[in-house]
């Protein structure tokens, strides 16, 4: 099987690349980082076909004869330009999806497109129980762009018969994580013994360990033809423990034996809904039944593995 990963040098893209190579797949991909500087791919550089270009520059020749394309090119996402510049968030999340869909539309052999979306497309009500069928109700510009990209994929599925699967990925963490993701920022500050300014302290998140995310995508690939046209939920931990950002901070302090000062700050865009912090539950029973997937790691177990990796690789990260 041939798999193309857009954004292959990123956190999700690189993890999927190494995972699928170890499973015996042929892996191809593109990103805007020079391959020599794509440190997350250092274990598999000589085993993938890497194209140094953005998804906006993808051509038919790049992706022809692929079986599956995973659009993990998150581009600008929500930090920092998604907060200060909605314009860049729109460019980063919608235009690459449109370009990829247009390219695939012109292929004689159409691969299956997998779009990793975000729970940010759903946040709209405090106390909502999120399922695969919950209506889109974004509370931030970033969430709106993810929701718009979802609808773009669904439109091309209906209008042009392009086979698609949308996966709403919950808040994830793990080895090689980005330094702007909350668990990794907290771990870095704890290991470097630096005080931390915690935004959105009482907003809640359902954190998913990357090892479980990868197994989700393995199950998805195995059953891909049974789930075309559907929206699936890739989120959860063993027990589906949902915590506030402050509870996460205190847990990481405990697991790293740190006594750093945590200073509470204001709420980021989309973290308050009608003046109340984000609070929700999930019911992903439909997805878990379809794929036969369950997260294996508790939040604590995933964090212990992540902390161990960061201790060994702390030289890669700096606090400015």
Contacts of 217 (CB under 8 A, 6+ apart): 16, 19, 70, 114, 167, 234
**Tokens standing for residue 208:** 């998913």
Contacts of 147 (CB under 8 A, 6+ apart): 117, 121, 136, 138
pLDDT tops 50 at residue 132: yes
* CATH code at 2-177+207-237+281-297: 3.40.50.720
Q: How much is the pLDDT for 203?
A: 94
Q: Which of 132-136, 225-229, 297-301 is predicted least confidently?
A: 132-136
Q: How much is the pLDDT for 78?
A: 45
Sheet holding 171-173, edge to edge: 171-173, 204-209, 242-244
Q: How much is the pLDDT for 113?
A: 98
Q: How much is the pLDDT for 142?
A: 81
Average pLDDT, the chain: 92
Closest by CA position to 212, among listed 188, 239, 191: 239
pLDDT tens per residue, range 39-62? 999 999 999 999 999 999 999 999
pLDDT tops 90 at residue 86: no
Residue ranges per domain, the chain? 2-177+207-237+281-297
Q: How much is the pLDDT for 87?
A: 75
pLDDT tens per residue, range 89-123? 777 788 899 999 999 999 999 999 999 998 887 88
Closest by CA position to 137, among listed 274, 317, 303: 274
Residues 274, 126 contacting (CB under 8 angstroms): yes
pLDDT tens per residue, range 136-168? 888 888 888 889 999 999 999 999 999 999 999
The number of angstroms, rounded, from the C-alpha of 148 to the middle of its chain's C-alpha atoms is 16
pLDDT tops 60 at residue 81: no
Higher pLDDT, 79 or 312: 312
Q: pLDDT confidence of 84, banded at 50, 70, 90?
A: low
**Tokens standing for residue 83:** 């907060």
pLDDT tops 80 at residue 177: yes
pLDDT tens per residue, range 191-210? 999 999 999 999 999 999 99
pLDDT tens per residue, range 6-43? 999 999 999 999 999 999 999 999 999 999 999 999 99
């Amino acid at each position: 099987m041939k798999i193309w990963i857009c954004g292959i040098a990123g956190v999700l893209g690189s993890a999927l690349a190494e995972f699928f190579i170890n499973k015996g797949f042929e892996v191809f991909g593109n990103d805007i980082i020079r391959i020599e500087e794509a440190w997350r791919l250092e274990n598999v550089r000589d085993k993938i076909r890497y194209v140094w270009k953005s998804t906006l520059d993808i051509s038919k020749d790049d992706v022809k004869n692929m079986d599956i394309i995973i659009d993990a090119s998150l581009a600008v996402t929500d930090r920092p330009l998604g907060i200060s510049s909605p314009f860049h968030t729109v460019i980063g999340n919608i235009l690459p999806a449109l370009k990829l869909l247009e390219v695939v539309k012109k292929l004689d052999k159409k691969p299956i497109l997998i779009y990793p979306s975000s729970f940010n497309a759903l946040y709209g009500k405090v106390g909502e129980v999120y399922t695969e069928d919950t209506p889109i109700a974004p509370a931030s510009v970033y969430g709106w762009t993810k929701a718009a990209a979802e609808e773009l994929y669904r439109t091309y599925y209906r209008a042009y018969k392009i086979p698609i699967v949308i996966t709403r990925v919950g808040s994830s963490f793990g080895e090689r994580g980005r330094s702007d993701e909350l668990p990794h920022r907290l771990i870095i500050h704890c290991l470097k013994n630096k005080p931390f300014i915690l935004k959105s302290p009482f907003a809640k998140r359902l954190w998913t360990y990357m090892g479980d995310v990868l197994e989700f995508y393995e199950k998805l690939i195995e059953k891909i033809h049974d789930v075309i046209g559907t929206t699936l939920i890739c989120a959860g931990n063993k027990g589906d423990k949902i915590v506030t950002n402050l509870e996460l901070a205190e847990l990481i302090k405990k697991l790293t034996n740190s006594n750093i000062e945590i200073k509470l700050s204001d709420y980021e865009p989309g973290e308050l809904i009608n003046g109340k912090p984000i609070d929700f539950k999930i019911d992903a029973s439909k997805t878990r039944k379809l794929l036969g997937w369950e997260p294996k790691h508790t939040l604590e177990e995933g964090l212990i593995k992540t902390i161990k990796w960061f201790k060994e690789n702390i030289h890669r990260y700096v606090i400015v």
